[in-house]
Structure 1
Amino acid sequence: MSWKNQSGGPWGGGGPRGPWGNGPQSPGPNSPDLEDLIRRGQDKLRGVMPGGFGSAKGVIAIVAVAVVVWLLSGFYRVQPDEQGVVLRFGKFVGTSNPGLNYHLPYPIETVLTPQVTRVNRIDIGTRSGDDPRRGAAVRNVAEESQMLTGDENIVDVDFAVFWMVKPAAPGSTEDVGAANYLFNVQNPEGTIKAVAESAMREVIGRTNIQPILTGARQNIENAVHELMQRTLDSYQSGILVTQVQLQKVDPPQQVIDAFRDVQAARADAERLQNEAQAYANRVVPEARGEAARITQGAEGYKERAIIEARGQAARFLSVLGEYQKAPDVTRQRLYLETMERVFAGMDKVVIDPAASGQSGVVPYLPLGALEPRPTTPAAQGAAR
């Protein structure tokens, strides 16, 4: 027996009630009927597309709208720090520059946009962590930092590697850094870390510890940089290493005091050697100059003595020739010249034994006493 709930059913009543009364009532206005909404939408579409959905025009219109929407989905934007890598059915076909670009819609072509201008950093030998009491904390990783040198010493090396996606080669569709970075390397950071640690161990392994601790930091950084880039290029990784920077190079913590003592002793030895070399550089030229002066003085004395001896010999030979011509006259002249030299600077008294009177003293006029004598300050003071 059919009945309608609007009349109350077998339990009577004038409203929508069940066997236990009115039942729960929803507050507020009644929700619209779904069938009514669908019916209204169909009426509006019939007004737009005469003939309804089943007609040819309606199907064509729906297909045209779907095609337009599908074609418009091919527009995409590449940010300034990104590069678009276009794939056609999964195969790399080209790149796109930053800005608004277009590719064939999915599933024909897809685009990946890796960041190619950002410089990334990887620390090897240390780890950064957050300490709730001290803030940022750095933890040393000994299995990464401890390395064996060429002279069989252990050194603790912490360094950082800065890298970015390698720029694409101009006009090349094969050597594209972004594509190689996406498809040839599964874990870029892990690969870079492994290559960096291997390159650093190789360079440290062929270098003695003393240059490592003192002045070979720049050479080590350049060698590791070149070795890393060569290795990554052989993998076609699309990664460009921009810098390798040594953070800390020390002996192990257990022997660092002894190494510092040895380093201080070597510094003192080098300082003393430099001071000795400076003293030698100052004394040796002075000694050489003094030796040159003495040598030149001896050479001058030698030349002067030889010339004087030759002059004396020539004079003697000339006198000898004159003596051989007139012995008496030459003998008398030599005697007079000798007496002149002997008595030139002394007071003289002439005594003639044959003279009569005045005890044989011959008076003479001392012409030298009449000449004015040079006055000196000492003589003037004595006169006063």
Structure 2
Amino acid sequence: MFRLIKAIIDFLNNLDQRRGSQRSAPSTGSEEAKKKLKKFAVILPAIFVILAVLSSIYTIDPGEVGVIQRFGKLSSYSDPGLHFKFPFVDSLSKVNVEKVRRIEIGFRSERARMNVIQESLMITKDENIVDAQAIIQWKIKEPGHFLFRVANPELTIKNTAEVALRSVIGVTKIDDALTTGRDEIQVRTKEFLQELLDSYTSGVQITDVKLQIVDPPEEVKDAFNEVVRAKEDKERLINEAKAFFEDVIPKARGEAEKMIREAEAYKEQRISTAQGDTSRFNQIYSEYKKDKDVTWTRIYLEKLESILQRPKKVIGTDSSSGAINLLPLKEVFKD
């Protein structure tokens, strides 16, 4: 911009020198004053026009929103790209609505981590004291509200976040805060904080609440850690018992089902065998009724055959002498 103004001034000087060289008579003092006045009258509007043109053109980068104020009052918003505004009437404020900012509660980590005790010490529902530290992540969702509805947005977010976290910790028991209730504390703090900021029309969106630590004070920290470890051991044993239950019960049910199936199969087998024996007996009995002597003799011989099949030794007695005789029938029945 300054180079352009300098070029206009040099052009006007060269133009004045050309006019002076064409004149033959020497210039008087009044004529020199008139020349300077004319030069000034040309330069000043030119500079004004250049500044007006340059200030009326602006660009909005991706992720930003341009907030236009006309005579100090909110007028409109501008999306990313090249835009034009009225010079000397409109004022522009660029707001990054995609950037995620953070606020720290209970500690500071700008150079070296430093605890802020007056922020982190909080009272639980059962009137115990805990040291709670958190990070609040937020971004701008309404640029106009963020710029004009709250005097100091970051300080407001910090104070409101501390209030929300204290409120949630105040309705939570210390056992839950130290062990399994951390996720619930984060969710409830985020919801309550967003509700408070919306009531202030702050134009801020809370993206996340992350608890860094929730510990008892240093004076009783060791005792609380022992309690926490005992509860963790309890949970571990319960989980192991549940795992054993889930492992043994299905196996027992499978064994029971197997035994039932085997019993049912044995039942069916016994029934089939009994039915077959009954049918066979009925057939024999029907033949027996036709000719009892023949049938009785056949059955007797079949039974003796099954009893005396391939005997190793046969012991008998002599009715006359009463001596015990060993009949070597093994050789007789030998193949």
TM-score by structure 2 length? Answer: 0.69
CA change 1:232–1:320 in 2 (3 A) is same
Assess if the C-alpha contact under 8 Å between 2:313 and 2:330 holds in 1: no
Which amino acid in 2 is paired with 1:141?
I
2:107 matches 1:126: yes
- 1:325 counterpart residue number: 290
Task: Tell me how far 1:158 sits from its aligned partner.
Answer: 0.6
1:179 counterpart (132, 144, 148): 144
Assess if the C-alpha contact under 8 Å between 1:121 and 1:161 holds in 2: yes
Question: Could you report, residue by residue, the CA deviation over 1:290-326 in whole angstroms, capped at 9, with x for unpaired residues?
Answer: 3333333333333333333333333333333333332
- 1:341 counterpart residue number: 306
1:138 counterpart (111, 114, 117): 114
Distance 1:86 1:350 in 2: 129
Task: Tell me how far 1:203 sits from its aligned partner.
Answer: 3.4
CA change 1:325–1:301 in 2 (3 A) is same
Which amino acid in 1 is paired with 2:76?
G
Which amino acid in 2 is paired with 1:244?
V
1:259 counterpart (196, 201, 224): 224
Distance 1:249 1:347 in 2: 91
- 2:136 counterpart residue number: 161
Assess if the C-alpha contact under 8 Å between 1:83 and 1:98 holds in 2: no
- 1:309 counterpart residue number: 274
Task: Tell me how far 1:248 sits from its aligned partner.
Answer: 1.4
- 2:72 counterpart residue number: 90
Larger relative strand fraction: 2
Unpaired runs of 5+ residues, structure 1, are 1-42, 131-135, 167-176, 354-361, 372-384
**Greater relative CO (CA pairs within 8 A, separation 6+):** 2
TM-score by structure 1 length? Answer: 0.62
Larger relative helix fraction: 2
Assess if the C-alpha contact under 8 Å between 2:66 and 2:93 holds in 1: yes
Which amino acid in 1 is paired with 2:74?
F
Which amino acid in 2 is paired with 1:47?
E
Which amino acid in 1 is paired with 2:106?
G
- 1:104 counterpart residue number: 87
- 1:47 counterpart residue number: 32
- 1:8 counterpart residue number: none
CA change 1:179–1:303 in 2 (3 A) is closer
RMSD: 4.2
CA change 1:332–1:165 in 2 (3 A) is closer
Assess if the C-alpha contact under 8 Å between 1:86 and 1:103 holds in 2: no
Distance 1:226 1:240 in 2: 11
Please identify the structure whose Cα radius of gyration is greater: 1
Assess if the C-alpha contact under 8 Å between 1:229 and 1:240 holds in 2: yes
Distance 1:128 1:284 in 2: 53
CA change 1:304–1:110 in 2 (3 A) is closer
Distance 1:222 1:118 in 2: 22
Question: Could you report, residue by residue, the CA deviation over 1:177-219 in whole angstroms, capped at 9, with x for unpaired residues?
Answer: 3332222111212210122122223433444444443455445
